[in-house]
Amino acid sequence: MEIKFTEENLKKLDKAKSHYPKSDAALMPALWLAQEQFGWLSIDVMKYVGSILNIPYEHVLGAAEFYTMYYKKPVGKNHLQVCTNISCMLCGAYDILDYISDKLDIKTGETTQDGKFMLSEAECLGSCGTAPMLQLNNYYEENLTKEKIDNLIEKLSKS
């Protein structure tokens, strides 16, 4: 597979670069676009991002390694990130995490064999008022119960 941004993503990147005096400052949005397009940030993808921003690969890798929101390995189609920070923890986040883990038969950090689900533990996602909650790809699922988890996983399994 050729690693190259789509025309649409190149336009988005140009727009992001226009917000900064130097194009290398657009590294974060460039990595985000790359992750959206390619699914995760492989070495080749990071080298590509570096080449179009004129940034050494080591610099790109440093940024990607620092932020947990960037995936450095393939993830499941549905990435379930359960917040276990204080508000969610007090509202049963670890019960939810364990429930999902048992239901999907994977541990935190693992992906199901069919590639449909990945389970992670997350720090506070800024939605403490609706604890316990999780982030599903780019969306929030809130006020979680085991019944809601059952419905969610059933729906996602069919898609």
- Sites for ligand FES among residues 122-141 (CB under 6 A): 124-128, 131, 133
**93-104 helix and 146-158 helix, angle to the nearest 10 degrees:** 40
- HSE on the CB side for 42, CA within 13 Å? 10
Residue 146 CB partners (closer than 8 Å, separation 6+): 95, 96, 99
If the CB atoms of residues 55 and 125 are measured against ligand FES, the closer one turns out to be: 125
SS3 content of the chain, % helix, strand, coil (to 5): 50, 10, 35
If the CB atoms of residues 115 and 126 are measured against ligand FES, the closer one turns out to be: 126
Residue 144 sits in the site that holds ligand FES (CB under 6 A)? no
3-state secondary structure of 143: coil
Burial class (CB in 10 A: 0-12, 13-18, 19+), 83: buried
- Sites for ligand FES among residues 22-81 (CB under 6 A): none
If the CB atoms of residues 21 and 129 are measured against ligand FES, the closer one turns out to be: 129
Residue 90 sits in the site that holds ligand FES (CB under 6 A)? no
- Shortest separation between residue 84's beta carbon and ligand FES, angstroms: 7
Q: Which of 85, 101, 108, 112 binds ligand FES (CB under 6 A)?
A: 85
Give the footprint of ligand FES on this chain (CB under 6 A): 83, 85-88, 124-128, 131, 133
